[in-house]
Amino acid sequence: MNLTKKALAAAGAVLLLGACDTPVATTTNAPVPTQTPSSVASAADVARDKALAAYKQMWGDFTAAGKTSDWQSPGLRQHATGIALDKLSQSLYGDDYRGLVTKGNPILNPSVATAEPSNDPKTIVITDCGDSTNWLKYRKDNGALADDKPGGRHLINSTVEKQADGSWKVSDYGVHDVGSC
């Protein structure tokens, strides 16, 4: 039995060596794979990337609208919906009413906390420790700093959902007090 295994192994080796010298036939109309299976992003990876992008873009839209406290900015709807859109608009409306604008930019450091369902997410929760140190409120009339306390690091929890049209939008978020992260 041991001799038979050796004979089969030797025959296999001869076939393999012989195959090395034999040209391989190719057809010109066969598709050539451009990506290996390990380089193809999974649906979950794509969803996570799109949710993180929507989260960052929502804060970018809010920052842009905050420069004039434009609570009706159409840009707010691009990456926010539902409760998140209401919160953004109400915050800007309050600033406009009080004669305030926001200058500077927040520093974001978001990460995906959960994704449901895990294989093809439709809802993703993002956590962030956003820094508002250089993103402060100023008076519209004289440009004076209006914030009575400095900015800082805030824990932010956000829900980002896949929409019917395939886009991703932040549907809710909560910003905690300075020093919460």
CATH code for position 105: 3.10.450.50
Q: How far apart are CA 134 and CA 104, in angstroms?
A: 5
Whether residue 50 lies inside any domain: the answer is yes
Question: Across the chain, what does the average pLDDT equal?
Answer: 84
Q: How far apart are CA 25 and CA 154, in angstroms?
A: 62
Q: Which domain holds residue 158?
A: 42-178
Q: Is residue 165 part of a domain?
A: yes
Q: Is residue 57 part of a domain?
A: yes
Give residue-wise pLDDT tens across range 80-91: 999 999 999 999
In a domain, 24, yes or no: no
User: 65-71, long-range: CB within 8 Å, 24+ apart, which pairs?
Assistant: 65/92, 66/92, 66/95, 66/101, 66/102, 67/101, 67/102, 67/103, 68/101, 69/93, 69/95, 69/96, 69/100, 69/101, 69/102, 69/140, 70/96, 71/95, 71/96
Has residue 80 been placed in a domain? Answer: yes
Question: pLDDT digit string (tens) for 46-77?
Answer: 999 999 999 999 999 999 999 999 999 999 99
- Specify the number of domains making up the chain: 1
* Tokens of residue 107, six digits: 């520093």
**pLDDT of 14 higher than 80:** no
The pLDDT tens digits for 18-29 are: 333 333 333 344
d(CA 132, CA 115): 27
CB 121 within 8 A of CB 162: yes
Of 42, 172, 55, 38, which Cα lies nearest the Cα of 120? 42
Considering the domain boundaries, does residue 34 fall inside one? no
In a domain? residue 115: yes
> Does residue 31 fall inside a structural domain?
no
